[in-house]
Structure 1
Amino acid sequence: MENIALIESFSEFKDDKLIDRVTLMAILEDVFRNALKKKYGEDDNFDIIVNPDKGDLEIWRNRVVVADGEVEDPNREISLTQARKIEPDFEVGEDVSEEVKLADLGRRAILALRQNLISKIHEHDNTNIYKQFKDLEGEIYTAEVHHIRHRAIILLDDEGNEIVLPKDRQIPSDFFRKGENVRGIIESVELKGNKPTIIMSRTAPAFLEKLFEQEIPEVFDGLITIKKVVRVPGEKAKVAVDSYDDRIDPVGACVGMKGSRIHSIVRELGNENIDVINFTNNDQLFITRALSPAKITSIKLDEENKTAQVMLKPEEVSKAIGRGGHNIRLAGQLTGYEIDVYREGVEEDVELKEFTDEIEDWVIAEFSKIGLDTAKAVLEQDVDDLVRRTDLEEETIKDVMAVLRSEFEE
């Protein structure tokens, strides 16, 4: 009973719900063997009998009886006189098993043993948590906001596991309060030291893909396949879908009547504008669909260099480029082509790079970021709109437009 009392006194692990009693006793045996090695130099001649049902263990030291005065190894040998104090009929050469009480190890050894035991159990728990969440990588998970920091939100799940949602994995419009539930995908799990670091993401394309699986039965059942997802988190996304069943309209099934099916996904993502597109192996047709809602007049592909020259009517250009250049950039990511837009019927135009003697390179780069690479493409835009879409000052934009107009006035 003495050993039971000592084991039960280790309250840090006694009521731990994350570890079953059998595993606990196995850890106990390992810890006690380490303690025996420290005290006696070895543990080979010790038997540790674990009783997981009772929550007890027994330690027995096995020694050989030798004649008085001939003990060379006190750990493995016992004198005849000492042996007969245990049992009066022992003879030289016989084996003696003597129970070791935990108290015999000494107070300092017990304190060290206790600390080692707690450390081993925490290590076991952390390993289990790591394995549990490693299996959940790429899956949707829900946890509660526990603490809001400048660079991250700390979440806790129902079991008290800590999950980190970094600022750069949050949708720009996200705003969470303490106690609020947050959904995202488990993006990565790493062991730093012995502690697992679990990272959640709401900006990963995989999060949108998993939301489709949750909300749209045909995707969950495999009747509709998501071929690729590209996103500007919180702004716009494009999802290419396909079905091997000709009776199913994959786009219609995903969007639903008047957008009923996709509405909850859009709301979860801070009103992210989601274009669902029918996938095809026909690159010209795929690019045409990817640039929706713009209507394309013609496309010239360079399949080797993965570039596409797209011709549109002037009024369709802004639709193809989209706000902030999001539409054309996502269409390029979705199709794997670098897409250049040209205006139909415009015979005379000049590329912006021809003006490097009058316009600084970084200014030209700002226009290129939003898909404006020619003089007339810039001149067709509204100044206020360009201020919103670029990092340029209004005065700079007006100066550029003046330079470009002068080219055509001449």
Structure 2
Amino acid sequence: MENLALIDSFSEFKDDKQIDRVTLMAILEEVFRSALKKKYGSDDNFDIIVNPDKGDLEIWRNRIVVADGEVEDPNEEISLSAAQKIEPDFEIGEDVSEEVKLIDLGRRAILALRQNLISKIHEHDNTIIYKQFKDLEGEIYTAEVHHIRHRAVILLDDEGNELILPKEKQIPSDFFRKGDNVRGIIESVDLKGNKPTIIMSRANPIFLEKLFEQEIPEVFDGLITVKKVVRIPGEKAKVAVDSYDDRIDPVGACVGMKGSRIHGIVRELGNENIDVINYTSNLNLYITRALSPAKVTSIKIDEEKKRAEVILRPEEVSKAIGRGGHNIRLAGQLTGYEIDVIREGAEEDVELSEFSDEIEGWIIQEFKKIGLDTAKSILEHDINDLVKRTDLEEETIRDVINILKEEFEE
């Protein structure tokens, strides 16, 4: 048949994309019916026979024979004399089936048809990819670094599918070279203009949860349950685990002898510090464990306001808060409670936040970062020590100390 290159080119796509026979026939028929409708006004009276195995296609137009001069719709009707040129014994009222050659559609229509065909194939391919990766959302996936951009790394998997690892979804210490294999979770899959956009993340807490499933057999088998994961990517994470089997120590099983089991996970996450704690429904105990490695003296809980007031010995406060406030922030996220730290014997002390009218908020935050959140906790320290431990100027610290001293002198 004419223009077999059209079908041949389609066959190449078929072999490359592994389109099944039923889908192949449906796409071909859809494309040709669109072309017929454009040329003849309707495709209702056309039969399209597709044979993708042989790479050929037939189009037949069905019309009714009417008397000469009575043809009202040339697409639906054919005059008796025209019908008898096809076959001499046709009579009025009979159906005539006539093959339509591709060349009859016209050169421009054939070119447009080919472009439409290619477009439909790509659209089908993209839909398959979208569905495939949509089913993988939240799962670990590995792909190779193909291109490194300023705000994202472009990855390709073994099938040539493109994945995007944005800068904000990376661990701060991540450093990639072209050809590196990268692990992360499929965080989201969206269709943007028929093209699937696949976003990978290494910063999502689910990535850490899935690494536990992958690296720790008891988690994979369901003997240990990961109840909750909170992270500051590349810095610190807290993972609450539980087991319904009293014979299993969930924390010990996850960490392993001398940290052997968790070491691979820590290395994957750029040496992120991971605290694994035993989950419990006892809220006091859960908050106490969440603040590890600090040792808590006592806790007062306001369930209505979702706040916990934690009393600690002075030497435990900095441990509870942690570097950059990471420990107390993650403990709050893990338990769902806002945690206020109070030093033992600080009943007559005044919280630093009470001085917000006289001391700027960012200065108060600088002191809180090193575990100093009350007036007395700052006054107990030498000025030179405070200069070394904070990012504050000596003059700023002296002004703060003078304000705090006035409070107690009154």
Q: Normalised by the shorter chain, which TM-score bucket? A: over 0.9
SS in structure 1 at match of 2:231: strand
Distance 2:148 2:171 in 1: 15
Residues 4 and 57, structure 1, Cα contact 8 Å, conserved in 2: no
Whether contact under 8 Å (2:370, 2:389) holds in the other structure is yes
Q: Match for residue 216 of structure 1? A: 216
The separation in 2 between residues aligned to 1:337 and 1:231, in whole angstroms, is 16
Q: For 1:221-240, list aligned pairs within 5 A.
A: 221-240=221-240
* Post-superposition offset of 1:334: 0.7
Which position in structure 2 is the counterpart of 1:98?
98
Distance in 1 (CA, whole Å) between partners of 2:339 and 2:385 is 22
Q: Which amino acid aligns with 1:103?
A: I
Matching residue's letter, 1:112 = A
Q: CA deviation at 1:311?
A: 1.1
Question: 1:15 deviation in Å?
Answer: 4.0
| Aligned equivalents of 1:404, 1:136: Cα separation in 2 | 56
Corresponding position of 2:250: 250
Residue identity matched to 1:396: T
Aligned equivalent of 1:84: 84
Bigger CA drift: 338-347 or 226-235? Answer: 338-347
Report the equivalent of 1:197: 197
In the alignment, is residue 341 of structure 1 matched against residue 327 of structure 2?
Answer: no
1:2 CA displacement? 3.2
1:370/1:150 Cα in 2 relative to 1: closer, same or farther (>3 Å)?
Answer: farther
Residue 364 of structure 2: aligned partner? 364
Q: Deviations over 1:151-193 (max 9, x none)?
A: 1111111111111111111111111111111111111111112
For the 8 Å contact 1:3–1:57, the answer to whether it is kept is: no
Compare 7-16 and 210-219 and name the one that shifted more.
7-16
Q: 1:369 to 1:319 in 2, by over 3 A?
A: closer
TM-score (norm 1): 0.93
8 A Cα contact 1:140 1:207, kept in partner: yes
Q: Distance in 2 between matches of 1:167 and 1:388?
A: 32
The residue that corresponds to 1:35 in the other structure is 35
Query: Which residue identity is paired with 2:232?
Result: V
Write the letter of the residue equivalent to 1:94. Answer: E
Q: Write the distance in 1 (CA, Å) between the matches of 2:392 and 2:26.
A: 67
Confirm or deny: 8 A CA contact 1:65 1:92 kept in the other structure. yes
| 1:399 CA displacement | 4.0
Contact 1:25 1:55 in 2 (8 A): no
Q: Which residue of 2 aligns with 1:151?
A: 151
- What amino acid maps onto 1:215 in structure 2? E
Q: Contact 2:235–2:272 (CA<8 Å) still a contact in 1?
A: yes
Tell me, in whole angstroms, the C-alpha distance in 2 between the residues paired with 1:18 and 1:380: 74
SS in 1 for 2:298: strand
Residues matched between the structures, number: 410
- Give the drift of 1:393: 4.6
Give structure 2 stretches of 5+ with no counterpart: none
Structure 1 vs Structure 2 CA RMSD: 2.3
Equivalence for 1:163: 163
Match of 1:324 in 2: 324
Residue 13 in structure 1 maps to residue 10 in structure 2: no
Alpha carbons 2:65, 2:94 under 8 Å: kept: yes
Q: How many angstroms does 1:16 deviate by?
A: 2.7
Distance 1:4 1:317, change over 3 A: same
Residues 66 and 92 of structure 2 are in contact (CA less than 8 Å); yes or no, is this contact kept in structure 1? yes
Match status 1:352 vs 2:352: yes
Is 1:276 aligned to residue 238 of structure 2? no
Aligned amino acid, residue 158 of structure 2: D
Aligned partner of 1:299 in structure 2 is 299
For the pair 1:174 / 2:170, whether they are aligned, the reply is: no
> How far 1:355 sits from its partner (Å)?
3.0
Spell out the pairing of 1:357-396 with structure 2 (5 A cutoff). 357-368=357-368, 372-379=372-379, 392-393=392-393, 395-396=395-396
